[in-house]
Structure 1
């Protein structure tokens, strides 16, 4: 049998797992772990989270991977701690200190500075970041000792708020748009305040439509997997056999439907007949007084699930990516 004709390995499941990633675990390793636990055919994540950071890592399984861009483009919320008095090469605790100061900012000084870090701001990403420079990741070049010139970029900060003042550190929360680096905020505020600063704790609390209550820990998922494992005879266990997960129902309880990522898009509810046409890649005419004539991005549901991503043009829904059909 040709490779093209091979049946995909794993379960054809679709949905989101909103993982509460622990510190020390890389995003790629987290995706591999979830894919293995769920025995999923396909998996991907919506936005890298540094190994030193914890919190929300949305992981898409199966057809939900087609909705990843809509989550990555969404607003994000972080809680982070800035240690004042030192700037590091990495703008966090991994790198050595390159600038230091005995000065410590007052709450009033920080609050007076916050408006300069709200709205559209210009920001230079950290030297140790995933930004590509001439095809190479900035962090790879930085690790080789190269001084990387990274251009400033405009990012959007919706809210920056002090949550707690400590003796020589401040805890903030920020709501920000795509491409915003919290480490750069800490570095730049430290310079503006004349005391320098770097991030010591970073936790992501929300991404796009997903909120803190949606998160699930690895411990909870592993416990659910244990519930569904087969029972082996002692002889098999002594021989080194490993129990397989044979009942995925406890794990699947944590899956969030794929369309949850599309809450900002217009929904087209299809009849069974229309759903069949869309699954075959065909457009369908929308009827009803409230149906839009044009909509650049929309999604269609039918048969009790997400059917397709597409657009409304001249009063018809035109599928661009089909879920579970030929597209």
Structure 2
């Protein structure tokens, strides 16, 4: 007797952004592929890797939104970082072997003084246990093989550091920083400056550019929702650029802009603007303004623009269930 299984649901053209609250232990790609399958989306991408040991905000882009994922990748990030003072590890986090334990003897005043030293532009040495590539291989591959690779310090900006909680030996910080900041390295450097050492015990991303955890959903929650409720979570493409200046174009100018033509504008010069047609829902793309000229950078196609004005297409479910072909040994045949 042949076993029957439900048919594979077709994929659909889905355009927008899902704010995912990534669980611990998942890679960013794990989370993307799972959400993409649940939503039955044809095309998807994430907006920069969030470490498997970290939780929190991972904006996922679908369809035309993938054209603008770089904006979120380049944006400032905000984290809640939990430091364990008095203990250093081989990886700078919970996964590594304990290297040294020291007594913790510092008060809030000492912590505040050290945090001030790490606010602003700082140089960071990328950790060996990171995905940064050297000669085509991730640094963590070298680290696992016991090989130390020479690295060049990187300049990043810590826009703000604030103490959320201090109960020795646990220090919880709110960190607002530029892209490329290694919070694990920051934790180790703060511990070193305090004289007791530290490692990163937990990390949660709370914001990426204008996007926050407000309204974010977990994979477990997404699985329990109805298809309509899932679709209601999809945000417009332009939410990725919500902190950029906006520019509206009349119908004729909108058509010319979509064809790549430069347009004259009275708006002040700007390095990045989001551009709309006459309908405020019709996001056309990103551009910059130089000497009174609006110059397109990333454009949506007319089909993608029109899709924003229509309801999200539902997943079509086949009416019949066909049996699964099997091999002579009883295993499912692959095609």
Task: Report whether the alignment pairs 1:52 with 2:53.
Answer: yes
Query: TM-score, with normalisation over the residues of structure 2?
Result: 0.82
Q: Is the 8 A contact 2:104 2:169 kept in 1?
A: no
User: 1:318 maps to which residue?
Assistant: 295
Separation in structure 1 between the aligned mates of residue 35 and residue 11 of structure 2, nearest angstrom: 12
- Residue 326 of structure 1 deviates from its aligned partner by 8.7
In structure 2, what is the Cα distance between the partners aligned to 1:134 and 1:326? Answer: 41
Cα distance change of structure 1 residues 106 and 148 upon mapping to structure 2, 3 Å threshold: farther
Residues 95-104 or 173-182, more deviating? 95-104
Deviation sequence 1:145-195 (CA, Å, 0-9, x none): 211222211110111111111232111111111111111111111112221
From 291, 312, 325, the counterpart of 2:267: 291
1:105 Cα offset (Å): 2.9
Report the alpha carbon displacement of residue 258 of structure 1 after superposing the two structures with TM. 1.1
Q: In the alignment, what sits opposite 2:5?
A: none
Q: Could you tell me how far apart the structure 2 residues matched to 1:17 and 1:57 are?
A: 8
Deviation at 1:127, TM superposition (A): 1.4
Alignment of 1:9-28 (within 5 A): 10-28=11-29
SS at match of 2:296: strand
Give 3-state SS (helix, strand or coil) of 1:41's partner: coil
Shift in CA distance, 151/100, structure 1 to aligned 2, threshold 3 Å: farther
Are the equivalent residues in 1 in contact too, given 2:238–2:283 (CA < 8 A)? yes
Equivalent residue runs for 1:53-202 within 5 Å: 53-202=54-203
1:16 touches 1:258 (CA, 8 Å); kept in 2? yes
Separation of aligned partners in 2, 1:254 and 1:180: 29
Distance 1:205 1:215 in 2: 10
CA distance in 1, matches of 2:46, 2:90: 27
Q: Which 10-residue stretch deviates more, 171-180 or 104-113?
A: 104-113
Give how far 1:29 is off: 0.5
Number of residue pairs aligned between Structure 1 and Structure 2: 293
1:148 & 1:326 partners in 2: Cα distance?
A: 48
| Worse-matched range after superposition: 107-116 or 23-32 | 107-116
**Is 1:274 matched up with 2:250?**
no
- Matches of residues 245-264 of structure 1 in structure 2 within 5 Å? 249-264=228-243
Which deviates more from structure 2 when the two are superposed, residues 11-20 or residues 258-267?
A: 258-267
Post-superposition Cα deviations, 1:178-220, rounded to whole Å, max 9, x if no partner, equal 1111111111111122211101111111110102213122222
* Equivalent position of 1:300 in the other structure: 275
Compute the RMSD of aligned alpha carbons.
Answer: 1.9
Q: What are structure 1's unaligned runs of at least 5 residues?
A: 1-8, 229-248
Of the structure 1 ranges 204-213 and 32-41, higher mean CA displacement relative to structure 2 is found in 32-41
The TM-score normalised by the length of structure 1 is 0.84
Question: C-alpha offsets along residues 227-250 of structure 1, whole Å, 9 cap, x if unaligned?
Answer: 23xxxxxxxxxxxxxxxxxxxx32
Structure 1 distance, partners of 2:300, 2:186, is 39
**2:314 corresponds to:** none
Query: Which whole-Å CA distance do the structure 2 matches of 1:298 and 1:285 have between them?
Result: 14
**Aligned residue runs from structure 1 range 34-53, under 5 A:** 34-53=35-54
SS at match of 1:214: coil
SS in 1 for 2:146: coil
Distance 2:11 2:40 in 1: 5
After superposition, the C-alpha distances for 1:107-141 in whole angstroms (9 at most, x for unaligned) are 22212211111011111122111222233211121
Conserved? CA contact 1:82–1:200, under 8 Å: yes
